[in-house]
Amino acid sequence: MYQIKQEKVINIVGEYDVVVAGGGPSGFIAAIAASREGAKTALIERYAFLGGMATASYVTPISVFSYNGERNIGGIPWEFVERLEKAGGALVEQPLNNVAFDPELYKLIAEEMVREAGVDLYMSSYISGLKTDEHNRVEEVYFENKNGTEGVRGKVFIDATGDADLCAMAGVPLRKYDGPMQPSSMCFILSGVDTKSPLLKDVIHHSRQGVNCQSEKVREKLLELSKTMDVPNFGGPWFCTVLHEGSVAVNMTRIGTDACNNRDFASANFSLRKDVFRFVQILRENFDEFKDAYVSATPAQAGIRESRHIIGVHTITAEEYLNAYKYEDSVSRSSHPIDIHAPNGESQRCSFLKKAAYVPYRALINSDYPNLMVAGRTLSAEKEAFASLRVQASCMGIGQAAGVASALSSMTGFRLQDIDYSILVNKLKKMGAILE
């Protein structure tokens, strides 16, 4: 391998109060929140659609908005759910408010809301670099698209890439846990399925608290078959309605991989895609419900459970999370089970919370980077806490907090580390966040 240096012209195409990198569940919510707070906001997304793991990887349902009979995430995330439901693209399952969805309508409603908020969108644009000053303040972010290399200037930047890409480029200290990371999975849409059968009619609805909604009958059969034939590595399996009779989203493939290593992740995606079709063959041959099943869609990429995390001002510990410790700077909540998947083999550790936990603002920032923060699964948390926080509803709530905080910082001139927690919390409550 050798390196070359190349000079290129970079067109700066906009100047903003807030720049969000990544349009997944945390990113598009963050952009809406920042813009509604009066900040001139830009959103950069590598795909031609929004939604991240929900729409690029078919990760479903949106889990979970409620616990112990009480909703704990509100504001813009819940507004999105209501808009999606009204459009016929969501089924809100009680009592947990797990949300099954149509991925195509998810894309549409997310972008409608972002555009209505007045956010400038840079789609099909891949983050490629940034500029910082001597104080670790990010000044510009660069991205590649059909126009060439473009850039935007900003006062405050939110890394919602899911893999802390912007933070890695800026030099923010990052953490990878000891031991293997949780596996990636390629979810897929299976059609021609008898979704009214006793085998599926209950498990495709994720509506029971304290229950792992995997299909035990399918799981038992796969374990039995694996004794005498080659069955790919699997988890669950989990089936979820996509609101169309005869079709289900399937989550069962898994592979240990480093999603931040281009070659490794590309190889993993190829292996998982092969596994998808092998599993469909097995299902057809062993279950009447799947005898006419076919793959109607595979995703743009495998879903990523974990990759990189920042080392924040505060790291959420397992003890804090399990005991629902309420911080002075609590800005969101989360109640998904602690859900740790083995990278190899079918095992899963699933532990249910006693009550909804809290997320402190300090877990979204590093002490040495005055205008760069994260939203979503790259926050600072111990492995057990992260295993719950990584899901969509949690990421949406965190995104809302990041958006409001970034707007507040950009308008007051205060570093992200110095903004007034009480003002931030009051703004979030006014927006509809549930922090009690």
Domains of the chain: 11-52+106-179+307-431 (3.50.50.60), 188-297 (no CATH)
> What's the confidence (pLDDT) of residue 202?
87
pLDDT in tens, 19-39: 999 999 999 999 999 999 999
Gap between the Cα atoms of 326 and 349, Å rounded: 25
> What's the confidence (pLDDT) of residue 175?
87
> What's the confidence (pLDDT) of residue 265?
97
Segment 392-416 shows an average pLDDT of 98
pLDDT in tens, 139-195: 999 999 999 999 999 999 999 999 999 999 999 999 877 678 899 999 999 999 999
Q: What integer best gives the mean pLDDT of the chain?
A: 96
Nearest C-alpha neighbor of 177 from the set 32, 292, 343 = 343
Segment 317-326 shows an average pLDDT of 96
Residues 6+ apart with CB under 8 A from 419: 405, 408, 409, 412
pLDDT in tens, 211-232: 888 999 999 999 999 999 999 9
State yes or no: pLDDT of 209 exceeds 90: no
State yes or no: pLDDT of 78 exceeds 80: yes
Strand partners, 328: none
pLDDT tier at 8 (50, 70, 90 boundaries)? confident
> What's the confidence (pLDDT) of residue 92?
96
> What's the confidence (pLDDT) of residue 6?
83
State yes or no: pLDDT of 330 exceeds 90: yes
> What's the confidence (pLDDT) of residue 343?
84
> What's the confidence (pLDDT) of residue 168?
97
Please enumerate, as own/partner, the contacts of 112-118 that have beta carbons within 8 Å and a separation of 24 or more.
112/83, 113/28, 113/32, 113/76, 113/79, 113/80, 113/83, 114/23, 114/28, 114/31, 114/32, 114/43, 114/50, 117/31, 117/32, 117/35, 117/36, 117/41, 118/35, 118/41
pLDDT tier at 207 (50, 70, 90 boundaries)? confident
> What's the confidence (pLDDT) of residue 217?
96
Task: Enter the tokens of residue 169.
Answer: 């480029």
- Cα–Cα separations (whole angstroms), residue 431 to 33, 74, 221, 425: 8, 8, 48, 10
Give the β-pairing of 330-334 and 357-360.
antiparallel
Gap between the Cα atoms of 15 and 154, Å rounded: 6
Share of the chain above pLDDT 90, in %: 90
Segment 298-302 shows an average pLDDT of 98
pLDDT in tens, 48-69: 999 999 999 999 999 999 999 9
